[in-house]
Amino acid sequence: MIVAHGVGSSADLPLPLDLVLQAGAATVVLSFLIAAFWWRRPRLSFRRIEAAKSSRLRWPVLILALYVLVNAFLGPSGATNPAAHALFVWLWVGLVLISVVFGPVWRAVNPLRTLFALLRLPRRGLRPLPPGSGLGAWPAAAFLLVFVWFELVAPHHGDPVTLGAFILGYAVTQLACATVRGEDWFARGDCFEVYSDLAGRLSPRVFAFSGVSAGALGAFLAVWWGSTVFDSASASPAWATFVQRAGHPGGYATGALVAICGLVFLAVHWVAGRLDVTASLIPIAVGYTLAHYLSLLLVEGPRGLLLLVQQWGIADGMTWDVAPVPAVIAGAQIALILIGHALGVIIAHDQALAESPDRPVLATLADELPMVIFMIGCTWAGLFLLFVR
């Protein structure tokens, strides 16, 4: 069973928690002031994102995916099976880091696209979705909600056979939808491809946020960020005490997960007012995800790779028992959250300038004030959930 939480606590913080919270608020305000005085024209909104090209890595990725799937059913039944590491560490967490560094890479190596092209599945029934159709990324948001429910709520989700059944069901469903709608389905229906596309917009090679607007992508980001918030909150003693007394932990957890994601979606729309600040959620979601799962990635990522090669008779007897220094992890978590929120403020300011180029700058800044207050609240909430349990 993989424990997907950081090792840091309030005792490990480099500063007292109240000073850390004040630093978070100051970072958001300072970012807003810098953007207000030195960012007078939009610089990010009109940058174009190049379409991802097919990579030679698509074949190794497909082989690895098929191996993990078969191994989930036929491999070891216990914790020595690397299937959980492949899904919950390499894909869910590692894909964010890889996308931030190299751009939206998953579309180029997506094993579902490769398998779809390899099988030459005929397209039947409905016509392909045209660009700009109303469906957007709503299917991806729905599939992401199913995935995070499986990861955070579903019983026995760490069992290899259960994992294999979920992966197989997800793959078959995606391929069936692509058969009906065409290969373009994956760009709006595969939650991991949309996930990589959004995180990849922060890559220095891309750093573009055009086309990210409220609606389907807003819902996707709300599920992404909200599920991570739920993961932190559900690890608290208060939640454990509540479900122990109330019973029905699965039902309450499902309700809480959906409620938190829904509240994030509604809160962003309510706070934004006339501005669309959906794109500003991308660095916040990325920063909080990497902060929340940082120790998981450092500890369980290499351990999963070791389990994988040991099944081939390589590195028998080796172990990965690295224990990150809590104070270092805590400092890195603070930095990731603060950087994410600072970038969020700058991106929101850029979007506001792009949406109203003829509007007086002071009026635009006044429209952004509710967003800044909202960002401060989110910063406090993120830091509090990470370090106070």
Q: DSSP letters along 156-179, please?
A: TTTSHHHHHHHHHHHHHHHHHHHH
Q: Which residue has the higher pLDDT, 12 or 276?
A: 276
* Cα–Cα separations (whole angstroms), residue 31 to 338, 348, 375: 10, 11, 11
More confident call, 177 vs 249: 177
Least confident of 15-24, 119-128, 336-345: 119-128
Q: What is residue 46's predicted lDDT score, i.e. its pLDDT?
A: 55
Section 83-98 average pLDDT: 93
Q: What mean pLDDT is reported for the chain?
A: 82
Q: What is the pLDDT of residues 47-65, one digit of tens each?
A: 556 656 667 889 999 999 9
At residue 307, does pLDDT exceed 70? Answer: yes
Position 122 pLDDT exceeds 60: no
Residue 325 to residue 347: CA distance in whole angstroms = 33
Q: What is the pLDDT of residue 123?
A: 53
Residue 3 has pLDDT above 70, yes or no: no
Placement of tokens 């990725």 in the chain: 61
Q: What is the pLDDT of residue 379?
A: 82
Residue 128, pLDDT score: 44
CB burial of 360-389 (b: ≥16 within 10 Å; e: otherwise) equals: eeeebbebbeebbebbbebbbebbbbbbeb
Q: Which residues contact 41 (CB under 8 A, 6 or more apart)?
A: 353
Q: What is the mean pLDDT of residues 226-252?
A: 85
pLDDT for position 45: 59
The answer to whether residues 73 and 160 touch, using CB atoms and an 8 Å cutoff, is yes
> Is the pLDDT confidence value at 251 over 80?
yes
What pLDDT band is residue 29 in, cutting at 50, 70 and 90?
A: confident
* Among 249-258, 353-362, 369-378, the range of highest mean pLDDT: 249-258
Is the pLDDT score of 291 beyond 70? yes
In this structure, the number of other CB atoms found within 10 A of the CB of residue 61 comes to 17
CB-CB contact of 353 with 42 (8 Å)? yes
pLDDT at 382: 77
**CB burial class (10 A; 0-12, 13-18, 19+) of residue 321?**
exposed
C-alpha to C-alpha distance for 255 and 262, rounded to whole angstroms: 10
Backbone dihedral angles phi then psi of residue 321, each to the nearest 5 degrees: -115, 35
Taking a C-beta distance cutoff of 8 angstroms, is the pair 346, 239 a contact? no
Is the CB of residue 111 less than 8 Å from the CB of residue 161? no
- Whether 116 contacts 338, CB under 8 Å: no
> Model's pTM, two decimal places?
0.87
- Helix (H) / strand (E) containing 357: none
Residue 236 has pLDDT above 70, yes or no: yes
Which residues, including other chains, have CB under 8 Å from residue 262's CB and lie 6 or more apart?
222, 226
What is the C-alpha separation between 372 and 42, in angstroms, rounded? 18
pLDDT in tens, 315-346: 777 777 777 777 788 888 888 988 998 898 88
The string of pLDDT tens digits covering residues 147-185 is 999 999 998 888 999 999 999 999 999 999 999 888 889
Residue 261, both tokens: 């994601």
The residue behind tokens 């026995």 is 156
Give CA–CA dist 65/114, Å, rounded: 11
pLDDT in tens, 124-154: 544 444 433 345 688 999 999 999 999 999 9
Percent of the chain with pLDDT over 70: 86
Mapped onto helix, strand or coil, the DSSP state of residue 5 is coil
Residue 215 binned pLDDT confidence (cut-offs 50, 70, 90): confident
Q: Is the pLDDT of residue 374 over 70?
A: yes
pLDDT at res. 362: 74
